[in-house]
């Protein structure tokens, strides 16, 4: 390669870098709006709990989230008969439950100690296992005390 060709290549590279920097510095950043819900209304929460009350207890699965990976599940409205479980076992459990019962309603209750990661992982499990009906609701004070005692 001769010196002229090398000089042309170097000048093209410098011009390209200069053009990219100039365009990036002079362009307006695109703004996207993020709308966050300030707080949930009591009416919306009442509707969710009404759905739970109307659902046959055989179709209900309650899932409590605690910490980074903590999961406690129970069925049929009796938390004392539940069990701690990990994500692979939960995936198998909910997949089987959904195959047997297409009307299953999973009620997810993240605790105060539940992390964002744990919440997202649970929502991923709902999507992976094609769960059509699930809710994420707050836990009650009594439930919180029970779950804290389970995860001690």
- What is the number of domains present in the chain? 1
pLDDT the model gives residue 32:
57
Give 44 or 72, the one with higher predicted confidence. Answer: 72
| Domain-embedded: residue 30 | no
pLDDT band at 139 (very low <50, low <70, confident <90, very high): confident
Mean pLDDT of 114-139: 90
Say what the pTM is.
0.68
Q: Which backbone phi and psi does 74 adopt, to 5 degrees?
A: -155, 160
Q: Would you call 64 helix, strand, or coil by DSSP?
A: strand
Token code pair at residue 126: 């709902």
| Domain-embedded: residue 35 | no
| Domain-embedded: residue 33 | no
| Domain-embedded: residue 85 | yes
Q: Tens digits of per-residue pLDDT, 60-75?
A: 999 999 888 889 998 8
pLDDT the model gives residue 96:
92
| Domain-embedded: residue 112 | yes
What is the domain-level CATH number for residue 105? 3.30.420.270
Is residue 19 pLDDT above 80, yes or no?
Answer: yes
| Domain-embedded: residue 63 | yes
pLDDT the model gives residue 112:
84
| Domain-embedded: residue 24 | no
Q: How far apart are CA 24 and CA 5, in angstroms?
A: 29
Mean pLDDT of 82-105: 91
Structural domain boundaries enclosing 59: 42-150
- Judge contact between 64 and 139, C-beta under 8 A: yes
Q: How far apart are CA 60 and CA 104, in angstroms?
A: 6
Mean pLDDT of 70-96: 89
């Amino acid at each position: 390669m001769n010196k002229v060709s090398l000089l042309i290549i170097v000048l093209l590279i410098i011009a390209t870098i200069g053009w990219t920097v100039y365009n990036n510095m002079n362009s307006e950043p695109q703004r996207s709006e993020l709308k966050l819900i300030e707080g949930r209304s009591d009416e919306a929460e009442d509707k969710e709990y009404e759905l739970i009350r109307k659902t046959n207890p055989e179709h209900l699965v309650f899932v409590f989230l605690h910490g980074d990976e903590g999961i406690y599940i129970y069925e049929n409205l009796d938390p004392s008969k539940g069990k701690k479980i990990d994500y692979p076992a939960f995936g198998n459990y909910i997949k089987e439950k959904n195959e047997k019962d297409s009307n299953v309603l999973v009620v997810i209750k993240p605790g105060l100690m539940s992390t964002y990661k744990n919440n997202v992982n649970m929502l991923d499990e709902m999507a992976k296992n094609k769960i059509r009906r699930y809710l994420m609701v707050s836990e009650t004070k009594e439930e919180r005390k029970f779950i804290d005692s389970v995860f001690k």
